[in-house]
């Protein structure tokens, strides 16, 4: 058999395999014609003067014609569904003088399955009919004179086939026909690498709507993050990729394979997509490193994260005041938490408060000093830093201590102050630990964080329990937890921890593609050292911004930088060391999902739409598992790339939802996108993963209606009232019933009755594997009581019903358009 590639711009390319092509056969075809005076083989040449085999018959003047032409055995090579392409010419019966009564303008095609060569032993009754073949164009005497060949092409499919091979047969009942070529082929999904997974070439299934799920195997030096799978369609196209492989630590993805990290770069965790440059004062000895080694004189502990720089000693964090007199103060301190080597000495800097320009430096090899020659009744500021062979560490925070007044001697009570303070501190810690133990039970993992500013706990939602610490976070094995940037005293530290700084020289802004809340959104190429150039989206912070606006702008990057999932928009990095401040993300060629659907109304198959919904649900499952609640899930906040992959975006801390006044309903705490928001979130600002599921149901409705506005032109107050009264959106036109039932489950009033995102992903996977379950469509004329627009038994007229749902102002419009009874209203459609 021979093969050729066919390119499909929407999906991955398909592979067509020829089982028979009569044009390419050298010598006689050797097909069997009976009776012998029927079909006859004629040697001709095609338009390129290449020899071709043509069979023709033209017994139009004789009655009772039954001429058969049988091919040799065609081996299927395991294909269960094959295609037959016929090219032929056929004579117009009206152009034959006297032959109209017996002349035919069709012929029949048959097939017979067999495991053996049977030659002439096949009876006509054993054949199964494929179809009656007719010509789109027939030729006349004039065409013969002008040497015009009116060639017809017809394609039919056979299946399911179960045996080693089959014979084709062509029956003529009195036509004037020339069979120019016969091509038999089947389709395969070709071998391909997708998401670092190798998928072997696969023969398509036997049914035209069947999708075969194929498991992929990870390429060299990669591991499965989620079992990679794709679906082979009947047309030989790979559809709906699920799961992916990621490069092992010490490797990064480059041109579809995993390459070792270069010298000076490392990759220590699977969640980081690329190798990172060694932090300051560190290096690698070999390629493929998983960590970097500190330069001589620089240190870090084994518990420090791999991306932390090797440094001199960390700052001194605990300083205690000893005895003080009117002219002196004695101090002691603890060694730094991370000495990073042998401490050679300490440097103590102090000055009188508000007199910072005049300071004194003392050096000590011990962890205590006596500062003398001070003024009585004065406040002094002390800072301490340590020195190792790598140099000085950073100064500690400022500690304030006061000298004694002239007339007061040190009393015995003063010496008790440290003891009392320590006693109170111990009591508070014990109380916290005991209380925590009683509240938590035995299965809770505890982390105690003692900081100079004390312990600070954010307000928690009992249904969405999360643990936040100011400068650190709890990590459970195998689980990543979202950390709210708001819990950091210094927002810049969150930006530093969760994002990568990109040099502005690596970015070229080529064009403006939109406007955001804080400034313009642009696109252009990003060139990083050791990587090929690729397009990115660039959000810029407009000039004249306030510090709060800068924090809000970079807050989105601090959130986005914590996520790593194929259905979440990927943060490449930030530019904060030059102006304008920028956020760099991957570039999504098709823009927002709502606009994309409106532009391509009706252009996608149901399977493609379900694939988009599956991607969005997978991204939301990831966010839910991390403990992140989106609050503004809508089609406008989903971005689509060139492969129709949908990615959740818009993680802004401060949301401006839409420009028009009715787009959001303002409550204490900010604006809410009413049409997408669960009722408990509107009424009580109760945002949870369950309220995100409600919003996901609205997104499903937007996708299946190709970007329709939810609730159309109803006002926000009318939407709130209708939802509260148990009204729900109707099923979109041509929407599969299974998808609409899932929407209705997402819109359950009791949030505990709504499905989890994990369950939604599982259900959509089942629908993708069984496309026949999507054939049943929503029947808008037979709605159940749980479906929208349940009119109730108490309303006797359309006017009364409209008044009951606070829409009485539309009564005249209903009358004018013919909706005069509830029975007629019940059959309303989106048309």
**Which residues are catalytically annotated?**
632
Contacts 24+ apart (CB under 8 A), 573-576: 573/499, 573/500, 573/501, 573/502, 574/495, 574/499, 574/500, 574/501, 574/502, 575/501, 575/502, 575/503, 575/504, 575/507, 576/495, 576/501
For residue 348, count other CB atoms closer than 10 A to its CB: 21
Contact indicator for 319, 399 with CB cutoff of 8 Å = yes
Phi, psi of 26 (to 5 degrees): -90, 135
| SS3 category, 103 | coil
Contact indicator for 311, 303 with CB cutoff of 8 Å = no
Q: How far apart are CA 439 and CA 108, in angstroms?
A: 82
Task: Dig out the tokens for 601 from the structure.
Answer: 């109304």
CB-hemisphere CA count at 13 Å for 459? 0
Residue 101 backbone class (left: φ over 0; alpha: ψ -120 to 50; beta: rest)? alpha
Contact indicator for 638, 617 with CB cutoff of 8 Å = no
Contact indicator for 682, 722 with CB cutoff of 8 Å = no
Q: How far apart are CA 113 and CA 469, in angstroms?
A: 72
For residue 300, count other CB atoms closer than 10 A to its CB: 20
Phi, psi of 2 (to 5 degrees): -115, 165
Q: How far apart are CA 118 and CA 1, in angstroms?
A: 21
Phi, psi of 177 (to 5 degrees): -135, 145
DSSP 132: E
Instruction: Give how far Cα 481 sits from Cα of 279, 506, 554, 607, 652, Å.
Output: 24, 31, 20, 33, 18
Contact indicator for 588, 569 with CB cutoff of 8 Å = yes
- 277 appears as a binding residue in the annotation: no
Cα 9 to the center of its chain, rounded Å: 20
Binding positions for ATP: 539
Binding site feature residues: 539
């Amino acid at each position: 058999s021979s093969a050729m590639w066919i390119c499909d711009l929407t999906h991955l390319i398909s592979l067509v395999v020829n089982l028979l092509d009569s044009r390419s056969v050298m010598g006689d075809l050797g097909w069997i014609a009976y009776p012998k005076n029927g079909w006859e083989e004629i040697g001709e040449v095609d338009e390129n003067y290449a020899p071709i085999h043509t069979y023709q018959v033209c017994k139009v003047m004789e009655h009772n014609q039954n001429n058969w032409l049988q091919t040799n055995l065609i081996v299927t090579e395991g294909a269960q569904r094959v295609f037959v392409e016929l090219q032929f010419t056929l004579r117009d019966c009206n152009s034959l003088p006297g032959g109209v009564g017996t002349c035919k303008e069709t012929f029949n095609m048959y097939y017979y399955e067999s495991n053996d060569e049977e030659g002439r032993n096949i009876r006509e009754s054993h054949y199964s009919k494929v179809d009656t073949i007719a010509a789109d164009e027939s030729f006349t005497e004039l065409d013969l004179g002008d040497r015009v060949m009116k060639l017809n092409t017809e394609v039919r499919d056979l299946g399911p086939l179960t045996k080693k091979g089959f014979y084709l047969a062509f029956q003529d009942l009195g036509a004037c026909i020339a069979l120019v070529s016969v091509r038999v082929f089947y389709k395969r999904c070709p071998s391909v690498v997708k998401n670092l997974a190798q998928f072997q070439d696969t023969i398509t299934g036997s049914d035209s709507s069947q999708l075969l799920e194929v498991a992929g195997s990870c390429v060299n030096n990669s591991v499965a993050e989620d079992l990679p799978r794709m679906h082979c369609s009947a047309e030989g196209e790979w559809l709906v990729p699920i799961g992916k492989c990621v490069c092992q630590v010490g490797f990064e993805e480059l041109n579809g394979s995993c390459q070792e990290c270069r010298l000076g770069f490392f990759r220590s965790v699977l969640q980081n997509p690329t190798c990172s440059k060694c932090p300051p004062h560190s290096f690698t000895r070999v390629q493929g490193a998983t960590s970097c080694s500190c330069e001589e004189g620089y240190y870090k502990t084994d518990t420090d994260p791999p991306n932390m720089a090797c440094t001199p000693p960390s700052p001194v964090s605990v300083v205690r005041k000893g005895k003080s007199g009117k002219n002196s103060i004695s101090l002691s301190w603890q060694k730094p938490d991370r000495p990073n080597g042998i401490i050679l000495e300490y440097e103590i800097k102090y000055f009188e408060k508000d007199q910072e320009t005049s300071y004194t430096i003392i050096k000590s090899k011990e962890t205590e000093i006596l500062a003398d020659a001070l003024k009585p009744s004065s406040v002094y500021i002390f800072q301490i830093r340590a020195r190792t062979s790598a140099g000085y560490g950073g100064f500690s925070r400022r500690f304030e201590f006061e000298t004694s007044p002239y007339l007061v001697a040190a009393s015995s009570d003063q010496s008790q102050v440290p003891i009392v303070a320590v006693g109170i501190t111990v009591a508070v810690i014990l109380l916290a630990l005991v209380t925590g133990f009683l509240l938590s039970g035995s299965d809770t993992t505890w982390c105690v964080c003692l900081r100079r500013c004390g312990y600070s706990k954010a307000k928690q939602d009992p249904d969405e329990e999360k643990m936040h610490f100011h400068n650190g976070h709890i990590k459970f094995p195998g689980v990543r937890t979202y950390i709210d940037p708001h819990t950091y005293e210094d927002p810049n530290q969150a930006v530093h921890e969760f994002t990568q700084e990109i040099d502005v020289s690596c970015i070229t802004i080529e064009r403006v593609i939109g406007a955001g809340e804080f400034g313009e959104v642009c696109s252009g190429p990003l060139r990083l050292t050791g990587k090929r150039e690729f397009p990115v989206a660039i959000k810029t912070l407009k000039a004249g911004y306030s510090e709060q606006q800068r924090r809000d702008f970079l807050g989105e990057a601090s959130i986005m930088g914590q996520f790593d999932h194929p259905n979440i928009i990927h943060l490449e990095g930030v530019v904060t060391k030059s102006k304008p401040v920028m956020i760099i993300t991957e570039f999504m060629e098709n823009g927002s999902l709502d606009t994309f659907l409106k532009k391509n109304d009706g252009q996608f198959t149901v399977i493609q739409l379900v694939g988009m919904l599956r991607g969005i649900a997978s991204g939301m499952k990831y966010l839910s598992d991390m403990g992140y609640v989106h609050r503004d899930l809508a089609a406008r906040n989903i971005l689509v790339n060139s492969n129709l992959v949908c990615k959740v975006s818009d993680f802004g801390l401060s949301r401006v939802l839409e420009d028009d006044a009715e787009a959001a309903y303002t409550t204490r705490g900010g604006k809410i996108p009413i049409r997408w928001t669960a009722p408990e979130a509107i009424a009580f600002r109760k945002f949870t993963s369950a309220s995100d599921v409600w919003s996901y149901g609205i997104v499903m409705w937007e996708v299946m209606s190709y970007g329709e506005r939810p609730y159309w032109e109803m006002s926000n107050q009318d939407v709130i009232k209708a939802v509260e009264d148990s009204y729900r959106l109707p099923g979109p036109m041509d929407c599969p019933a299974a998808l609409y039932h899932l929407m209705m489950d997402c819109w359950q009033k009791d949030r505990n009755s709504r499905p989890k995102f994990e369950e939604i992903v599982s259900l959509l996977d089942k629908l993708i594997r069984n496309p026949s379950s999507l054939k049943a469509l929503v029947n808008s004329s037979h709605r159940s009581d749980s479906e929208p627009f349940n009119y109730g038994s108490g309303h006797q007229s359309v006017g009364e019903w409209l008044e009951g749902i606070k829409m009485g102002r539309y009564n005249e419009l209903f009358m004018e358009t013919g909706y005069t009874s509830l029975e007629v209203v019940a059959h309303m459609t989106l048309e």
